[in-house]
Chain A
Amino acid sequence: MAPETRAYRIRGAAQLVLILFGQSIGFIGYLLTGLFRDNAWPTMWPIIAICWYGLGIVIHIGVRVAIPYADPIMTPLVLTLTGLGLAELHRIDLTSDTSPMLYTQFFATLIGVAAFLAVIFLLKDPHRLKGYPFLLSALGFVLLLLPLIPGLGTSVYGSRIWINIAGFSFQPAEIAKIVLAASFAAYLADKREVLSSAGRRVLGVDLPRMRDLGPVMVMWGLSLAIMVFENDLGTSLLFFGLFVMMIYVATGKASWIILGLALFAAGGAAVIRFAGHVQRRIDFWLHPFDYPDDATQIIQAQFGLSHGGLLGSGWGLGRPDLIIFSYSDMISAALGEEIGIVGLMAVIVLYALLVFRGLKTSLLAMDPFIKLFAAGLSFAFLLQTFAIIGGVTRLLPLTGLTTPFLSQGGSSVIANWLLIAILMVMSHRARSPLTQLEVSASGVTELAEEHTQVFSTRELAQIGTGAIHPVQSITAHQVRLGPDGRPLDTVDDTPKETGADTPDWSGDEELTQAASVPGLGMTQPFTPFTGDHAQGEEITTHLDPASATGVEITRHLDTASATGEEVTTFLDTAPATGEDASAPRPTPPDTRTGADPADDDYFGRGTE
């Protein structure tokens, strides 16, 4: 059962090759547009090539220096999408009267990349964001509701999700999705135990307790308000879906999903019934051909996709001029017409890959806040992409959201680069052996959830001899150890400066003690497991708390099962590999390896 230990290497070369390859897809599109439309290479192409590939190399170097262990596929994916978007915007420039969007969009991308670099160099620890849940929530809600302020918000094609400041238009939802993902993560990481508590059981489903419904109802009301007053189903779906998904991940209770879907369906049905403009959007979606003058976007997008066919009309040979907002909301239709249904499918798969890399980061992370934050950002990104591409292709009613990295629009580009930056910092921390070593050097390991403890057989042997001891974990308060293995404090939440050679605690709050740290006072040795179990075999031992006097085996403080908890232990003879041999501590953090990834309660690193 025990999978092999996986250590992540720095994949610099792979990242660079993928970046250049991905960038070339959009660049070739740019060249073909000129070739197909004018039978000539675009005159500017050498300068464009230098700027474009230069940008990719700068990003590569930035990532390599600041966050070398970060997922090597994310930046190539983002640059592929950016390139496709720039090429399509350039192509739309050629048949429209508006000022060239290629340069403004490239400039926005430069600012986005600058923001990206700033984050990866300066935000060493995303955990710091956890400290301000209420400030973040308030900021997020204000951002979401900004477009409703008269004179500030502007209505574009029925959706009131833009604000206009000093001539610059801005979609606050773009930033709000990051801010709210952080605030939800902070709130839920704190309250997940409480929210897990079951309320009444109805039809075989454990409903949450009534008093825990407050935040859900707030989000529900907010999302319905967005639907009614901003007339945008996509934005509404984005934030409510994000919240419901995060509360599910935090608590593991499917009832939250059921409750969320039911609330959204009921609220949505009521809104559709009583708000005529929302009903109109639904009609445009279901019967666009009954409204040939009003549903032109949807109709033309359909015509474009079907006329482009499987392989597309070719770069520069479609008719984006027939699609209103082909450069923003509808860019996936404009692109799909020219690169074909197959090409658009490939773009969707690029988005999917990006999302799954983000979710992978969430799986790898140790800390519940980081896990929730990463999963939230990834899922918000997916929901946004789903809502807008689904709207354009008539899977859903059309919304006014931007298509990440493709759509024209500075706020969208910058916000999404920030989102990727945060995900990549988290990815770097999750994958970096240095982080692990720093933590183990300090004598502290994060075990985010204390259901289970994992030992290697070598450790089990050491436990048997009393050389090491299983974790002492106290969920309600924390144990911190100094370099000498002595507890620094037991109750104080705030990090303390304990000496010149004390590592930085980085504000970690839920620290637990690793098994590999000797010297914690144990009055009674732990009964060792003997070697007559097969390698990797799963051993489950029920410990009666009474018989393990003085030893508090890691335990899940669930009131429903306060006694006779089940502690699942895994055996793994495979020593941790791939760690830096020159690391200061000889004992690798084996506690993180070897778990069955299918085990729901194991909270360590998964396998790749």
Chain B
Amino acid sequence: MNRHIRFVSLVSALMVFALLGNLTYINLAREDSLEASPYNTRARQADFDVHRGQILAGDTVIADSVPSTDQSSFTYQRVYANGPLYAPITGFFSYIYGTSRIENSYNRDLAGSSSSQWLQHLIDVASGRTPQGASVVTTINPTLQQAAWNALQGYDGAIVAMDPHTGAVLALVTSPSYDPNLLASHDLGAVQDSWAQLTTDPTDPMTDRGTRETYPPGSTFKLVVASAALEKGYTPDTMIDTPSSLQLPNSSSWLSNSTNCGDTQVTLARALQMSCNTAFANLGAALGQDAIRAQADKFGFDTTHLPELGGAASRFPTGLDDAQLMLSSIGQFNVAATPLQMGMVVSALVNGGQLAEPYLVDEVRAPDLQVLYTHDTHVTQVVSPATAQSMQDMMVAVVANGTGTAARIPGVTVGGKSGTAETDSDNPNYAWFVSYALNPDIVVSVFLQRDEKTPVDLWGGANAAPLAKEVILASR
């Protein structure tokens, strides 16, 4: 019997080790994910008690922590200087609902609990100072951000401006927006009311339309198809069949042009300038879906960007039949892109065919101004310099004498491409204008979405291009 009792002891020991091992597992493997959980009020409580670092746009403070003056038990109050304007960048910092955007992705730096700050944290605690978090300096240019905000008033949509050479996001505006101060309040009852109101608002004010949502890019996608054609040996002067309307293969549907492109053939440059649908349908069919998808992926499709905001991946669909390929070649069917992604396409073309990965955070600075992190620009060649130059010339022609004349600025080199996407009569239509200007070089991607406020259809050239012009003017 004693042998059996010893065996029971062994089993007992194994059970004890299972308990100990599981605790080790919680500590080693799960701590980070548990601490980051939006339900973790403990971690947030701790975050509420530290002097949280600032978020800056250049030198402008857009999120700050100030000593709390209310009756709550929290030491600091998070304040957003111009809440709705910067909401898609800062996100919110709420006791009940957790954090989002940079408040979430840079939480450890802002709270002073990142691994690079542990020594400072220890010294602060030991010397009785309140530990202070690091500051996060974004690439946002306050002037451009405000200009884009002003331009977008009256529309639902987004404007993304970026530096084509570095990938720095200079402006990121989404409309409608919301005030993160409402969620950072220490009046938790009011916070709950605000949350209920914001999350049930049919206009989705908490949605970042610039980086986290994808929409059919419409004719702006023709930039990708044209780039793929040039890379395949086409030239801007290559003639393409451009009937006034075209019956889609194995279908009763007809595709027609919305501008006057004639009924014979046009050059590739002219097709882009006038946004000829039938020309690009034929061009897409000739190139094949794999070539177009490969080019789109080089521009950044099928990859997420700006992970600090939780950016979405744009996509070019797979397994297309001929009709679907033709529709996809003009940015319809199931092609979906973020305004950021379409800005990246233009950026690469402006930057000599080199795509600079977009980024939003320039550096992270400790309270003693020691730099904890700086961004390194990462570029990849996505089209040849020759293709990039040809594409720039064609985009300039679009603005000079095509569908984008509303963006024309005397004395300034401005190029662009309009887009108007209509899925079906029940869905809203989308208006796009992706553009760039030189000296100083800037890329501006404008996306508008029709809703109840805009009773008529929106057009890329008519409605979106003037907004791009305003932002470009503000950059000068």
Point out residues on A near B: beta carbons under 8 Å: 245, 248-250, 252, 289, 292, 299, 302-307, 309-310, 319, 322, 336, 341, 344-345, 348-349, 351-352, 355-356, 359, 362-363, 368, 371, 375, 378-379, 382-383, 386, 389-390, 393-395, 448-449, 597-598, 600, 602-603, 606
Bound: A356/B6 CA distance, A = 10
Per-residue contact bits, chain B 30-52, to A (CB 8 Å; 1 contact, 0 not): 11001101011111011000000
Bound: A394/B34 CA distance, A = 13
Stretch from B11-19, B284-292, B389-397 forming part of the interface with A:
B11-19
**Docked complex: B76-119 residues within 8 A CB-CB of A:** none
Which residues of chain A come closer than 8 Å to B35, judged between CB atoms? 306-307
Contact of B39 among A299, A305, A375 (CB under 8 A): A299
Per-residue contact bits, chain B 383-410, to A (CB 8 Å; 1 contact, 0 not): 0000000000000000000000000000
Check if A289 sits within 8 Å of B27, measured CB to CB. no
Other A-B contacts than A303-B40, A306-B30, A389-B19, 11 sampled, CB-CB below 8 A, are A249-B8, A252-B1, A292-B39, A299-B39, A302-B30, A304-B42, A341-B24, A351-B16, A356-B9, A359-B5, A386-B19
Check if A252 sits within 8 Å of B3, measured CB to CB. yes
Nearest opposing residue in chain A for B27, CB measure? A341
Check if B1 sits within 8 Å of A322, measured CB to CB. no
Given the interface contacts A348-B19, A348-B20, A379-B8, does A371 sit within 8 Å of B1 by beta carbon? yes
Nearest opposing residue in chain A for B45, CB measure? A319
A-B contacts, 30 listed (Cβ < 8 Å): A248-B4, A249-B5, A252-B1, A303-B37, A303-B40, A306-B34, A307-B34, A307-B42, A309-B27, A319-B41, A319-B42, A345-B20, A348-B16, A349-B16, A363-B2, A363-B5, A378-B12, A379-B12, A382-B15, A386-B15, A386-B18, A390-B18, A390-B19, A393-B19, A393-B26, A395-B18, A395-B22, A600-B2, A602-B2, A603-B2
Which residues of chain A come closer than 8 Å to B473, judged between CB atoms? none
Which residues of chain A come closer than 8 Å to B45, judged between CB atoms? 319
Which residues of chain B come closer than 8 Å to A319, judged between CB atoms? 41-42, 45
Bound: A248/B10 CA distance, A = 14
Check if A302 sits within 8 Å of B34, measured CB to CB. yes
Bound: A31/B23 CA distance, A = 27
- A-B pairs, 4 with minimum CB distance: A600-B3, A306-B34, A307-B42, A395-B22
Which residues of chain B come closer than 8 Å to A448, judged between CB atoms? 1
Check if B39 sits within 8 Å of A359, measured CB to CB. no
Check if A359 sits within 8 Å of B19, measured CB to CB. no
Nearest opposing residue in chain B for A376, CB measure? B8
Bound: A368/B35 CA distance, A = 52
Check if A395 sits within 8 Å of B19, measured CB to CB. yes
Contact of A352 among B1, B13, B22, B43 (CB under 8 A): B13
Which residues of chain A come closer than 8 Å to B31, judged between CB atoms? 306, 309
Which residues of chain B come closer than 8 Å to A309, judged between CB atoms? 27, 31
Given the interface contacts A348-B16, A352-B16, A394-B22, does A606 sit within 8 Å of B2 by beta carbon? yes
Check if B13 sits within 8 Å of A289, measured CB to CB. no
Quote the shortest CB–CB distance from B5 to chain A (angstroms).
5
Check if B8 sits within 8 Å of A302, measured CB to CB. no
Nearest opposing residue in chain B for A307, CB measure? B42
Quote the shortest CB–CB distance from B330 to chain A (angstroms).
42
Quote the shortest CB–CB distance from A186 to chain B (angstroms).
15
Nearest opposing residue in chain A for B32, CB measure? A306
Bound: A81/B421 CA distance, A = 70
Bound: A597/B1 CA distance, A = 11
Quote the shortest CB–CB distance from B274 to chain A (angstroms).
53
Quote the shortest CB–CB distance from B249 to chain A (angstroms).
46
Bound: A600/B37 CA distance, A = 53
Bound: A306/B26 CA distance, A = 7
Q: Determine the main DSSP class of B at the interface with A.
A: helix
Which residues of chain B come closer than 8 Å to A306, judged between CB atoms? 26-27, 30-31, 34-35
Which residues of chain A come closer than 8 Å to B27, judged between CB atoms? 305-306, 309-310, 341
Check if A249 sits within 8 Å of B4, measured CB to CB. yes
Which residues of chain A come closer than 8 Å to B24, judged between CB atoms? 341
Check if A382 sits within 8 Å of B34, measured CB to CB. no
Bound: A305/B24 CA distance, A = 11
Nearest opposing residue in chain B for A602, CB measure? B2
Which residues of chain A come closer than 8 Å to B22, judged between CB atoms? 390, 393-395
Nearest opposing residue in chain B for A599, CB measure? B3
Quote the shortest CB–CB distance from B139 to chain A (angstroms).
33
Given the interface contacts A289-B39, A302-B26, A348-B20, does A245 sit within 8 Å of B8 by beta carbon? yes
Bound: A289/B35 CA distance, A = 13
Nearest opposing residue in chain A for B31, CB measure? A306
Which residues of chain B come closer than 8 Å to A348, judged between CB atoms? 16, 19-20, 23
Which residues of chain B come closer than 8 Å to A289, judged between CB atoms? 37, 39
Check if A305 sits within 8 Å of B26, measured CB to CB. yes
Nearest opposing residue in chain A for B20, CB measure? A345
Which residues of chain B come closer than 8 Å to A351, judged between CB atoms? 16
Quote the shortest CB–CB distance from A194 to chain B (angstroms).
16
Bound: A151/B40 CA distance, A = 38
Which residues of chain B come closer than 8 Å to A304, judged between CB atoms? 42
Bound: A368/B230 CA distance, A = 91
Bound: A275/B417 CA distance, A = 61
Check if A368 sits within 8 Å of B12, measured CB to CB. no
Contact of A307 among B2, B5, B46 (CB under 8 A): B46
Contact of B1 among A250, A355, A395 (CB under 8 A): A250
Per-residue contact bits, chain B 349-389, to A (CB 8 Å; 1 contact, 0 not): 00000000000000000000000000000000000000000
Check if B15 sits within 8 Å of A305, measured CB to CB. no
Check if B12 sits within 8 Å of A449, measured CB to CB. no
Bound: A328/B90 CA distance, A = 42
Given the interface contacts A302-B26, A305-B26, does A382 sit within 8 Å of B12 by beta carbon? yes
Contact of B43 among A249, A303, A598 (CB under 8 A): A303
Contact of B8 among A341, A375, A386, A390 (CB under 8 A): A375
Nearest opposing residue in chain A for B26, CB measure? A305
Which residues of chain B come closer than 8 Å to A449, judged between CB atoms? 1
Nearest opposing residue in chain A for B16, CB measure? A352
Quote the shortest CB–CB distance from A590 to chain B (angstroms).
19
Which residues of chain A come closer than 8 Å to B43, judged between CB atoms? 303, 307
Bound: A307/B5 CA distance, A = 39
Check if B40 sits within 8 Å of A307, measured CB to CB. yes
Quote the shortest CB–CB distance from B49 to chain A (angstroms).
11
Which residues of chain B come closer than 8 Å to A363, judged between CB atoms? 2, 5-6
Bound: A606/B19 CA distance, A = 29
Bound: A466/B89 CA distance, A = 100
Check if A355 sits within 8 Å of B12, measured CB to CB. yes
Nearest opposing residue in chain A for B9, CB measure? A359
Per-residue contact bits, chain B 124-148, to A (CB 8 Å; 1 contact, 0 not): 0000000000000000000000000
Which residues of chain A come closer than 8 Å to B2, judged between CB atoms? 363, 597, 600, 602-603, 606
Check if B19 sits within 8 Å of A322, measured CB to CB. no
Quote the shortest CB–CB distance from B3 to chain A (angstroms).
4
Which residues of chain A come closer than 8 Å to B46, judged between CB atoms? 307
Quote the shortest CB–CB distance from B34 to chain A (angstroms).
4
Bound: A216/B301 CA distance, A = 63
Per-residue contact bits, chain B 184-225, to A (CB 8 Å; 1 contact, 0 not): 000000000000000000000000000000000000000000
Check if B23 sits within 8 Å of A305, measured CB to CB. yes
Check if B19 sits within 8 Å of A248, measured CB to CB. no
Bound: A382/B9 CA distance, A = 10
Residue of B1, B8, B16, B22 with most chain A CB atoms under a 10 A cut-off:
B1
Bound: A249/B11 CA distance, A = 12
Which residues of chain B come closer than 8 Å to A375, judged between CB atoms? 5, 8
Check if A341 sits within 8 Å of B23, measured CB to CB. yes
